[in-house]
Structure 1
Amino acid sequence: MLVKFHGRGSGGGDSPVDYLLGNDRDREGASVLRGNPEITRELINSTDYARRYTSGVLSFEESPTEISERIKAKIMDEFEATIFVGLEHDQYNCLWVEHTDKDKTDTAGNVIKDADGKPIKRLELNFLIPNQELRSGKRLQPFFHWADMMRVNAYQNVMNMRYKLTDPHDPSKRRVNHSYFSRSANLKDIAKKDYTAEQERLTTHKAEKDYLTEYIYDLAARGRFENRKAIQKALESKGCEIKRVTKKSISVSRPQFQKNIRLDAPIFSEDFLPYDYLGMAMHEKQKQYERDKQGKILKEALVILEEGNRLKTIYHRARFKDAVLPVPYDLELEAAAPVQTPINQPMKYQPPTPKDSSPSMDY
């Protein structure tokens, strides 16, 4: 499971609700799990904040049939308890919509199909939150990236480990080779014989860049590099002169080109690790991750989640300290209270109590 927050949120409530359920509430594979879409829409439309709503999705690799309704409910409960920590249920509104129309894909982006050749679907739990605290009407921003991302990531890790869901941090989900290179000049509509000298130079320059990049990836896959310095030496052995090294790239010069070649594929960044490009090392890394997952990683996630929730609780309770729940109307207390005659209503006539009619003792 992966938690994603969308960047949008400044418009009215019609667009997000229509996206989740369709304009006529008939989107295929969409169903409301919690909340009322029309109430959520009206709450969003009733505010005039710069960001009226927060939306996102809990995206699963698992198919809808692999996760029970009970587990879905627990995951949604824990998400609300994390995002709205310190608030009561009547202080916020959250619409949950299930989508089952997305195709499941492998790490290369290819659609996975079943034995009958039909695409396998995966589960999405979409949430839509009006940015309003319901008791006070004050602005409620349930997610600030800089303040809440670590806490949300911790929630994600705990849920994945607790319910044995596919983990996006699992090393097996990463590509061994990042075989994508720079874009070529926009020459699709021009025949090669009609290239100008500049276009010919750019095309040849790009071809050399792709050649060097593919060469380095091939060596990395065979375990030839222990560190980034070894990559630089390999480039020098191919007749390249190292001109500039930055966090994300290595620039080299070649005798036949006036312009330097900037090698900026992921393997040339300072984050290079040989394990990311070795099949055997990846296997060992996977085993180590499995050993750590239920121990070190889970413990760290629980600590981060607990401390983050503590701080967020303090923030929410301070911001909405005046948002008190109205005292409920007590029918039994009302029935026991003495009847009072309204001021403007005439009193009913009641005859006086007759005096004692026994003979007087006064002589």
Structure 2
Amino acid sequence: MQSFENALLTPAMQGRYNILWIEHTDKGRLELNFIIPKMDLERKKSFNPYYHPIDNKRIDFWRDFVNLCYGFTNPKDPSKEQTLQGSKKEKELFKDYEALDKILHKQVANKIINSRDELIYFLEQNNIEVTRKGSDYLSIKLPESKKAKRFKGSIYNEQFRSFEKLRDLRTEKESRAREYKQRDIKSELERTKRELDKFIQSKDEYYRETIRKFNERLQG
């Protein structure tokens, strides 16, 4: 918790913000949620604790650093890539999408669907909308759903034009997974720590400069 606060708000903001941490263990695991009022306590001015375009990369490095330090699993591990992308909070709807994903994989395994184009045609013939086509994903919307879900994986990749290409895609994924497991953890931890420290220092300097300018206006 302290490490996260330091990465998010830096030493410059220590003592200048309130934060409430909430512990949940009802799902059989520890979960920590937090709330930060958007108020600088010293200046009595509003401030944004997290601005995604600027802060995302720093927090991403913090997550990688903590996962490496404690040997936690990492969602970046290629072997843990999920076929269906999106929030699992929509439980009933998500089950429908999961069922669709299983049907599509079974159709490919049975060689009824032989390419991504055929997969898209199969969906359209069953009144299932493909809202977006990416190089390595399809966004698919079921008739009763308000939002589309993103499907990733070899059968949704634009390179899936034949079973030979499909084998190549799966071989490439297996290769990435092996390389990820064989990487030098010590070197990656050191590199991640250097990058994290650099991003924290940059944000810390921004906060200190903001505070300095505010104090100058008060004195002027």
Give the deviation of 1:271 after TM superposition.
Answer: 8.1
Partner of 1:127: 34
> Using a 3 Å threshold, how does the CA distance of structure 1 residues 213 and 161 change in structure 2: closer, same or farther?
closer
> Using a 3 Å threshold, how does the CA distance of structure 1 residues 320 and 169 change in structure 2: closer, same or farther?
same
Look up the SS of the partner of 1:151 in the other structure. Answer: helix
Give the deviation of 1:132 after TM superposition.
Answer: 0.8
Match of 1:285 among 172, 176, 179: 176
Match of 2:71 among 150, 153, 164: 164
Please say if residues 21 and 33 of structure 2, whose CA atoms lie closer than 8 Å, have aligned partners that are also in contact: yes
1:247 and 2:172 are equivalent in the alignment: no
Partner of 1:53: none
> Using a 3 Å threshold, how does the CA distance of structure 1 residues 293 and 154 change in structure 2: closer, same or farther?
farther
Match of 1:99 among 6, 16, 24: 24
Match of 2:189 among 286, 292, 298: 298
> What are the residue-to-residue correspondences of 1:1-363 with 2, within 5 Å?
76-102=1-27, 121-175=28-82, 214-216=106-108, 231=115, 235=118, 246-247=133-134, 265-266=151-152, 267-270=155-158, 278=170, 284-292=175-183, 294-295=185-186, 297-321=188-212, 322=214
Bigger shift: residues 151-160 or 264-273: 264-273
Please say if residues 96 and 128 of structure 1, whose CA atoms lie closer than 8 Å, have aligned partners that are also in contact: yes
The aligned amino acid for 2:30 is: L
Question: Which ranges of structure 2 fall in alignment gaps of 5 or more residues?
Answer: 85-99, 119-131, 139-149
Question: Which ranges of structure 1 fall in alignment gaps of 5 or more residues?
Answer: 1-75, 103-120, 179-206, 220-229, 236-244, 251-263, 325-363
- Tell me the alpha carbon deviations over residues 285-343 of structure 1, each in whole angstroms, 9 at most, x when there is no partner: 3331122261564344334312211221121112222469xxxxxxxxxxxxxxxxxxx
The aligned amino acid for 1:129 is: I
Please say if residues 79 and 155 of structure 1, whose CA atoms lie closer than 8 Å, have aligned partners that are also in contact: yes
Aligned residues between the structures = 168
Give the number of the structure with larger relative contact order, counting CA–CA contacts within 8 Å between residues 6 or more apart: 2
Higher helix share: 2
Give me the CA root mean square deviation. 3.9
- Tell me the alpha carbon deviations over residues 260-289 of structure 1, each in whole angstroms, 9 at most, x when there is no partner: xxxx853334487958974x7655433311
Report the TM-score when normalising by structure 1: 0.38
The aligned amino acid for 1:313 is: D
- Tell me the alpha carbon deviations over residues 23-82 of structure 1, each in whole angstroms, 9 at most, x when there is no partner: xxxxxxxxxxxxxxxxxxxxxxxxxxxxxxxxxxxxxxxxxxxxxxxxxxxxx1110111
Q: 1:295 & 1:274 partners in 2: Cα distance?
A: 34
- Tell me the alpha carbon deviations over residues 78-122 of structure 1, each in whole angstroms, 9 at most, x when there is no partner: 1011111142431111111211012xxxxxxxxxxxxxxxxxx11
Give the deviation of 1:217 after TM superposition.
Answer: 5.7
Give the deviation of 1:162 after TM superposition.
Answer: 0.4
